[in-house]
Amino acid sequence: MKAILLAGGKGTRLRPLTIHTPKPIVPIFERPFLHYQLDLLKQVPEIDEVILSLNYQPRRIEEIFGDGSDAGLSIRYVVEPAPLGTAGAVRYAGESLHESVVVFNGDVLTEVDLAAVIRLHRERKAKATIVLTPVENPSAYGLVETDAAGNILRFLEKPKADEITCDTINAGIYVLEPDTFERIPRETAWSIERSFFPSLIERNETFMAYVYRGYWIDIGTPEKYVQVHHDIMDGRYHTPPFNGAAATSWVSPKARVDDSAVLEAPCFIDEGAVVKAGAKIGPYAVIGRQCQIEEHAVVDRSIVWANTRVGQDAVVRQAILGRQCHIGRSASVGDGAVLGDKSVVTDHSRL
Ligand code: GDD
Ligand code: MG
């Protein structure tokens, strides 16, 4: 069985972070995001190949995953000549498929039992089965109504406030039958959410819901990108290095933290990072590889990508800093600031 990962979007809501780092490989604790999805796919031994459907900066992604042997899965790359939308991408990547295929949005993190989703799909002989999850506000997602037996009655992408009739949304994880792909036009952009799913309902085809109430997040906005780090540091999502433990300060054995620096859990300091005298890290601070945190600087509730330097007495609070940034002495950066790679904040500036 094959899995298609839709990983071709531009990640506009995560700009400027995604200018040089496409969304599928933004780091979560310095590990490219797709690794976490591959970990989930690996739990289904039947999945013998992952097709990465790419468009935006495909080379950067290929460089990291190669043929997949390091990640423990066979990976093939399909690069669209132009963005074909979510359905167009599935058709383009799934051209040679003749058996059920698992499709994943490239920005969701979850602990759903994929094997159980595939089982339901087969038992019901469905044309499509999609995972639904409840959220507080469905307006940023695809709203999905079902009947008591789990048949999908309505699919409404990005509903307006007065169109919200239930709390279950499309979690971006599907099992599809390739014989339905013929209805997707070949060379125009087509949306799986706005056109393909409604077409199944119109034709009265078996279109099933698998409702999942466990951990699920779409990391596609700065708020959610920060949230996923908090969830891992608070033990809501189990993965290394925290592995479900809350209130832990994780410091790489290859980091250098001065004895007089203060670490407030939870926090994460990766290899090669240097934290100097009197600096304060945490709570909820993530310090990337080779970062330098100078004397008496403060970093809390922030994600700092690799090779960034935070100057003496500077304060970084509730911010995301890209790679190779320089925050000057006594500068303060905060309140949801998101700085792209190589940003420079001069001494004493306030942002
Ligand atoms: N290859 C390819 N080509 N991939 C694409 C394209 C394209 O033209 N457009 C989007 N993608 C990929 C993105 O990279 C992402 O992984 C996935 O498709 C979904 O796109 P998003 O832009 O993240 O969509 P969304 O988050 O607004 O909404 C989608 O996800 C929600 C769940 O997170 C929809 O599927 C909603 O229905 C769903 O609720
Ligand atoms: Mg998304």
pLDDT in tens, 313-346: 999 999 999 999 999 999 999 999 999 999 999 9
Query: Domain limits at 138?
Result: 2-218
Residue 49 lies in a domain: yes
Tell whether 56 and 169 lie within a shared domain. Answer: yes
Return d(Cα 109, Cα 187) in angstroms, integer.
Answer: 30
Residue 232 lies in a domain: no
Tell whether 85 and 40 lie within a shared domain. Answer: yes
Read off the pLDDT band of 57 (50, 70, 90). confident
pLDDT at 188 over 90: no
- Give mean pLDDT, residues 230-253: 95
Q: Which of 60, 76, 86, 188 should be mutated for ligand 1, with most atoms under 8 A from CB?
A: 86
Residue 238 lies in a domain: no
pLDDT at 30 over 90: yes
Q: CATH number for the domain including 274?
A: 2.160.10.10
pLDDT at 74 over 90: yes
Give yes or no for residue 291 CB within 6 A of ligand 1: no
Atom of ligand 1 nearest to the CA of 192: 35
The CA-atom distances, in angstroms, between 122 and each of 175, 177, 218 are: 10, 10, 27
Tell whether 195 and 98 lie within a shared domain. Answer: yes
Tell whether 210 and 149 lie within a shared domain. Answer: yes
Q: Would you give the DSSP letter of residue 198?
A: H
Give residue 320's identity as a one-letter amino acid code. I
> What is the model's pLDDT at position 187?
80
pLDDT at 9 over 90: no
Ligand 1, atom 39, lies closest to the CA of 141
Q: What pLDDT, in 10s, does the model give residues 270-322?
A: 999 999 999 999 999 999 999 999 999 999 999 999 999 999 999 999 999 99
Neighbours of 47 (CB within 10 A): 21
Tell whether 132 and 271 lie within a shared domain. Answer: no
Read off the pLDDT band of 70 (50, 70, 90). confident
Whether 181 contacts 187, CB under 8 Å: no
Number of domains in the chain: 2
- Give mean pLDDT, residues 67-90: 93
CA–centroid distance, residue 88 to ligand 1 (Å): 12
> What is the model's pLDDT at position 92?
94
> What is the model's pLDDT at position 19?
95
> What is the model's pLDDT at position 251?
97
Mean pLDDT rounded to a whole number for the chain: 96
> What is the model's pLDDT at position 281?
98
> What is the model's pLDDT at position 294?
98
Q: What pLDDT, in 10s, does the model give residues 105-129?
A: 999 999 999 999 999 999 999 999 9
- Give mean pLDDT, residues 51-56: 94
Q: What pLDDT, in 10s, does the model give residues 123-165?
A: 999 999 999 999 999 999 999 999 999 999 999 999 999 999 9
Q: Which of 36, 107, 112 should be mutated for ligand 1, with most atoms under 8 A from CB?
A: 107
- Rounded to the nearest angstrom, the gap between the alpha carbon of residue 49 and the centroid of all alpha carbons in its chain is 20
Return d(Cα 127, Cα 119) in angstroms, integer.
Answer: 13
CA–centroid distance, residue 10 to ligand 1 (Å): 10
* Closest to 141 (Cα-Cα) out of 155, 123, 151: 155
> What is the model's pLDDT at position 179?
93
Q: CATH number for the domain including 111?
A: 3.90.550.10
More confident residue, 187 or 271: 271
